[in-house]
Amino acid sequence: MKRIKTLAFSASLLIATSVFAQQTGERMNIFKPSGAKETAKDFTPAPDKIETSYGTLEFVGGAFPTEESTQLIFDQLDLQRATQAYMDFMPAMSLYGIVRAQARDFGFTSSSDIAVEADFMQASENYLTGNNSTVYAFASLDLGVDGPTVVEIPDADFKYLTDFGPTGPDLGKGGKYLFVPADYKGDIPSEGYFVIKSNSYRIWAMMRGFDVGNGDEAVKWFEERLKVYPLKTGPRKGNYINVSGMGINTLFPEDGSAFEMLNEIIQYEPSALFDQDELGKLASLGIEKGKPYKPDARMLKIFDQAAKEGK
């Protein structure tokens, strides 16, 4: 097994060398090495003491870090992994921050609850990249709760799934979008819907309204045209709310609590939503599907620092 791994690693190095040669225009032949012959005495080892930004590393016996240096190295490796994970999972945490906040701060209880910024977004609503000159309508879908879910949109006009309106498959003519979880095993209607497969259970549906009026007029416009409901129940009465000025905090944390949020995402969402490299990185930090999240004091401190550096 060890030899197989070594051969695979060697092959990857040769591929990388070949790509470099193609990029530089050079013809590189490993059987025609350049430079003079070398022996073991020509190798220059790293010094026994190395100054780094996170402390002094000391080595004994030619290559073995002292106990203190070993701890510094592990702390730094965990900090680097955690910082990269924080940055890699920003889109997932941002989406989760929005749908969780709409339930907590707007009182959403189902996917049929629709928030309308009928009097424009106020300073008390901190949606990332939102503006105060557009009438927005929002819905939070959870395919893990409702299964396949229908979004009916009017005509005209995170991981990204689809556009609605002129740039979407309905081409501005309106229609029914059916969001289906990727692991769904039931029957899917063959006609009447734009079927969108989703690797995630939680979906944030957002629309912009133009020439829809303001206040009660805007709420009524969406109430008559935008509907969200589970496929299994068919159309049901929605709850349309003017949320302008209600206040909401949709932003994900910029401290160590972000990793608690990230664990919630990993535990709930299908693993297929993320690639194996991302999941492996989180597993090395103690965040793994089906396992308890129990960071010790050391990791909590590292998580807090990683969020600050990652942001």
Distance CA(169)–CA(164), nearest Å, equals: 7
Query: What is the rounded CA–CA span in Å between residue 212 and residue 131?
Result: 17
Rounded Cα distance, 254 and 98, in Å: 15
- Residue 168 DSSP label: S
The upper half-sphere exposure of residue 169, i.e. CA atoms within 13 Å in the direction of its Cβ, equals 12
In a domain, 249, yes or no: no
Q: How many domains does the chain have?
A: 1
The reply to whether 80 falls in a domain is no
Token pair for 19: 């790509």
Q: Does residue 160 belong to any structural domain of this protein?
A: yes
Rounded to whole angstroms, the Cα distance separating 192 from 186 reads 17
* Number of Cβ atoms within 10 Å of the Cβ of 186: 9
Q: What pLDDT score does 152 carry?
A: 87
The length of the chain in residues reads 311
Task: Tell me the mean pLDDT per 10 residues along the chain, length 311.
Answer: 40 50 65 86 92 94 92 97 96 94 96 96 91 94 96 57 64 83 91 91 90 95 93 94 96 97 96 93 97 98 97 88
CA 19 to each of CA 31, 39, 216, 300: distance values in angstroms, whole numbers, following the listed order: 18, 28, 62, 41
Q: 207: domain range?
A: 107-242
According to DSSP H, which parts of the chain are helical? 2-24, 67-88, 90-105, 143-146, 215-225, 257-268, 276-283, 297-310
Q: What is the CATH number of the domain that holds 158?
A: 2.60.40.1610
76 occurs within a structural domain: no
Element (H, E) at 138: strand 135-142
- Residue 226 maps to a domain: yes
Dist CA 227 CA 239 (whole Å): 10
Assigned domain for 197 exists: yes
The single residue listed with the structure tokens 């490299």 is 277
Residue the block writes with tokens 């339930």: 103
Q: Give the contacts of 56 (CB within 8 A, at least 6 positions apart).
A: 49, 50, 69
To the nearest 10 degrees (0 to 180), the angle between helices 297-310 and 257-268 is 90
Rounded to two decimals, what is the model's pTM? 0.81
The token pair that represents 286 in the structure block: 């103690």
Nearest one of 296, 134, 149 to 206, comparing CA atoms:
134
Residue 163 belongs to a domain:
yes
Is 294 among the domain residues? no
Cα torsion 151, 160, 206, 231 to 10°: value is: 20
User: Using CA atoms, how far apart are residues 226 and 228, in angstroms rounded to an integer?
Assistant: 7
Residues 195, 170 contacting (CB under 8 angstroms): no
At residue 9, the pLDDT reads 41
- The C-alpha atoms of residue 71 and residue 305 are separated, in whole angstroms, by 17
